[in-house]
Each structure stands twice: as structure tokens, then as C-alpha cells.
A = this chain, B = another copy of it.
Amino acid sequence: MAKDKKVEQITDMEVDFAQWFTDVCKKAELIDYSSIKGVFIYRPYGYAIWENIQAIMDKEFKKQGVQNVYMPLLIPESLLQKEKDHVEGFAPECAWVTTGGSEPLEERYAIRPTSETLFCEHFANVLQSHRDLPMKYNQWCSVLRWEKTSRPFLRHREFLWQEGHTIHATAEEAKEFTETMLGVYADFCEDVLAMPVTRGQKTDKEKFKGAEATYTIECMMHDRKALQAGTSHYFGDGFARQFEILFADRDNKLKNPHQTSWGVSTRLIGGIIMTHGDNNGLVLPPKIAPVQAVIIPIAAHKEGVLDAAAELKARLEKAGVRVKLDDSDNSMGWKCAEYEMKGVPLRVECGPRDLENGECVLVRRNDREKITVKLENLESAVAEQLQAVHDGLFARAKKNLEDHIYPAYSLEEARELQEKNGGFVKTMWCGELDCELAMKEQAGMSSRCIPFAQEKLSDVCPICGKPAKHMIYWGVAY
């Protein structure tokens, strides 16, 4: 199949997965480097994927009663410092503004690394009564974290995301909403991105700085490394106390509301690439593909072929398919390679012979299956095959996940399993930080999550031998 590749080859993933990933990001024209290290440009094709993610996810948020807002980019240092754990977690990674116009500022401002502090200050300003609750806000924006290493989509100093922030009258309602939003993310990953997830809770070490509990969805990439794809945090009333957010409850007493926050980022696009991509490039889940089907006329110079192709395009557009017709002079081979590189889920080929027979050929990107369809059934056939691509991608990723979760009963076994197979290693765990650190130091794995779906592998923590509290997943993460 190497002959089908574009002239500019990408590295094979089996040779160098990291280089394959970077090649795909560049050559599928998703991203470009800027002159600042770790800051990337989202090119039209990459940004269109994000727009599709936004459109679908935003509708799901609105079903949950969430309203969009826009908070300031800048956080005064004194505001960021109001919550102790939070500032310790984020201040070391902030970019700081010290000059406004030609004058030095009296207080320096952080570019938001996340906006809990800003939302808290606003909630304190506007919240009055229990009738105002819950307040469910979200914003789509960019945030900055001045990290030392960077990779396209996976670790940017500036990245695009959404951050939801809600306050509720009771702890129960806030906890429930934290879990609801994790469910929204999990369903989105599986139903829209065809990425199977493991749902669970983060350990205290791995939770969000300032949160009481962090829930996570963890995905497994094609190279069997873990990707944290979305998180949802329950804050209790900790921030509300620090920021003096108060409401008059039904009993006329002033109380602090209970709070959540939750977010996903353009990291999801990194996840899509590493879950579904192959040695010919990107493979996009149909629901978020900027182009879902590309029509390639064969022997386009022959009479009637181009007109017929244009008609197919019009029909598919009318049916709501994002479709492109490539009637350029480029060769058939070039075109096939180009749209494979770009991960377009379906190719529609139509030549003079097909048209004579009242047919065209659909080619699926994920498994290259060719399906000859009657032109009169085009719309339903395309819809069917787009679903087949989604299902094929999901099934393959699900198998990859399920095949690579290994139980271990000692730290040494865990280390060996990870070294040999990658994937997730599952063990029992006592819940102590020391054992978590030992796993990191001696087996190179961080805790991924304490899955909601618990199993009892044994009674004891295999690291310290003390009684076990949970079954936990370990892995090497992006």
C-alpha cells in the first residue's frame, strides 16, 4: 500500500510513533508552529475539527442547562492567591503581564491557566438568593500554561478548551452534577469520537489543585499509552468560603454554595489522531470530520462525468453530508493519497462505466472496504457507510483497550507487564501516596484512575501488603 502514499511520506508508526504523530499533524495541515516555543497555530483543517466538536458538545451542555459566558483573560495575582492549593498548583506555570501600555503595573496579572478564581469572584458579585441557584456557566476560550515541553495538541503552552463552572445549593446536587458532566464527556467520546473510555476517579495526588474530588475519562491510544481526555471536579464549598460566595437559603440563613468545574480541550484532537490514525495518515470519526465524503470523478474528461459528479455532490449536500468534489487536474493516485492523509471517512468514486451502470463506488477510509452502490440509493448508502466507519473505528479501539488491561499482583509484575505490553495495569491499592510514588519510581507508571467499575483482584495492596481499598489502573500517560 506504500505506493498510495503522498509524495511527502510520513514515518511509519511502528518505526517511531512520536514522529508519525508529528508528521500527521503537519502533513494533514492541522497545525503549524509559531515563533514561540510550545505555541501552535490551529490551521483551517485542524480548527474545523474543533468547531465540529464545539458545536456538538455545546448542544449537550445546553441540554444540561448550561449558559455560555466570557470571563477576563487576566487574573490579578492577589485573586489567584486566594485559594492556597490552587495557587500552588498553577502559579509556577503562569505567564505574567507586568506592563500595560507604557507603564509598569502596580500588581502583576497572570494570563488565565484556568478560571476558577475569576468565576468565584463573579459568583460572589451576582449571587443573592437560592432562587439564583444553580448557576451553570461555561466558556470556550484559550488558556496558557508555561510548560517546559510541548507537543502538538497534547501539550501546548496555549491551548483551546472549554471550562464549565457551576454552583449549587447543596453538596449532593453539586456532586451529582460533577458526575453528570463526566457522563456527558464519556458519551461524547464514545458516540461522537469513537473513542472508548474508562470512567473513574483520580487519586488525591492526581486530582485538580483545590478540588475535593476529580473524575476522569481515560482513553488508550494506539501505542497503548493513556490519554486523560476530560475531567470533572467537585470542589465542595472550599472556594466559596475563600471567595465569600454566599446566598440566602430558604431558611433565610446565609450559606456557601457547592461548586464544580469540568473541562475538555483540543487534546481530544490528539486523542483522535492517536486512536484512529494509520500509516497513511489521519482517520477521522465521521461526526466531526470537516469533509465526510470526497467525490473523485474518474476519467473526468469524458462527457457527462463531471456533471454527474456535481449532481452527486448537490444531492449529498442536500442530505446534510459535508461533501467535497475534487475535480482538479491532479492524478487519481495523488487524490486518493491526499484524502487518506486528511482522514476523510468516505471516498466516492464515479467513472464513465459506473455511471453507465447507474452506480458509484464508496471506499471506507478505515478499512478500505469498497462498496458498489446504486446511484438512486446514494444518500442512504453514504449515511450507512459513515456509520460503518464510526462503528469500525470504535470496535477497533475498544478491542485495543480491552486487550491491553493486565492484572498484576506485585509491583515487579506490574513493571514487567508495562514494559512488555504497554496498556493499563490494574492492581489493588491501599490508597496511600507512598505506594503510588513507588509505582511511579519503580515501574514508571502513574495512576490513571480508580475505575467506577470495580473488581476485587485480591485483599491487599501488592505494593505494601496492607489491606486494599480500591482496584486502580496504572499506565504511562501523554
Binding site for B on A (CB under 8 A): 32, 34-36, 39-44, 47-48, 50-51, 67-74, 76, 79, 92-102, 108-109, 111, 118, 121-122, 125-126, 137, 141-142, 144, 146-148, 157-158, 160
Flag if B76 contacts A35 (CB, 8 Å).
Answer: yes
- From the candidates B42, B71, B74, B108, name the one contacting A41 in the complex (CB within 8 A): B71
Identify 5 residue pairs between A and B in the complex whose beta-carbon atoms are under 8 Å apart, listed by A's number.
A34-B72, A44-B67, A72-B158, A95-B100, A96-B99
Flag if B69 contacts A41 (CB, 8 Å).
Answer: yes
Flag if B158 contacts A126 (CB, 8 Å).
Answer: no
Flag if B68 contacts A36 (CB, 8 Å).
Answer: no
Count this chain's copies in the assembly: 2
Flag if A36 contacts B96 (CB, 8 Å).
Answer: no
Instruction: Please classify the interface of chain A as helix (H, G, I), strand (E, B), loop, or mixed, using the class held by over half of its residues.
Output: mixed
For the complex of A and B, list the 8 residue pairs with the smallest distance between their C-beta atoms, beginning with the closest.
A44-B67, A42-B70, A101-B146, A96-B99, A100-B146, A39-B72, A98-B98, A34-B72
Flag if B92 contacts A102 (CB, 8 Å).
Answer: yes
Flag if B98 contacts A99 (CB, 8 Å).
Answer: yes
A51 and B68 contact, Cβ closer than 8 Å, known pairs A96-B99, A98-B98: yes
A48 and B68 contact, Cβ closer than 8 Å, known pairs A95-B97, A99-B98, A111-B73: yes
Instruction: List the B residue with the shortest CB-CB distance to A99.
Output: B96
A122 and B67 contact, Cβ closer than 8 Å, known pairs A101-B93, A158-B73: no
Chain B's nearest CB lies how many Å from the CB of A358? 33
A36 and B72 contact, Cβ closer than 8 Å, known pairs A92-B101, A97-B96, A99-B98: yes
Flag if A99 contacts B95 (CB, 8 Å).
Answer: yes
- From the candidates B47, B74, B101, name the one contacting A68 in the complex (CB within 8 A): B47
A96 and B94 contact, Cβ closer than 8 Å, known pairs A70-B160, A158-B74: no
- Which residues of B have CB within 8 Å of A93? 101
A121 and B69 contact, Cβ closer than 8 Å, known pairs A44-B137, A94-B101, A97-B111: no
Flag if B97 contacts A68 (CB, 8 Å).
Answer: no
A142 and B41 contact, Cβ closer than 8 Å, known pairs A32-B125, A48-B68, A94-B101: no
- Which residues of B have CB within 8 Å of A97? 95-98, 111
- From the candidates B67, B121, B160, name the one contacting A34 in the complex (CB within 8 A): B121
Residue picked from A42, A43, A73, A98, most chain B C-beta under 10 Å: A73
Chain B's nearest CB lies how many Å from the CB of A123? 11
A43 and B69 contact, Cβ closer than 8 Å, known pairs A32-B125, A97-B111: yes
A241 and B67 alpha carbons, distance in the complex (Å): 45
**Contacts A43-B126, A101-B147 known; 16 new A-B pairs at CB < 8 A:** A32-B126, A34-B71, A34-B121, A35-B79, A35-B121, A39-B73, A39-B74, A40-B72, A41-B70, A41-B122, A47-B70, A70-B142, A95-B99, A95-B100, A95-B101, A111-B111
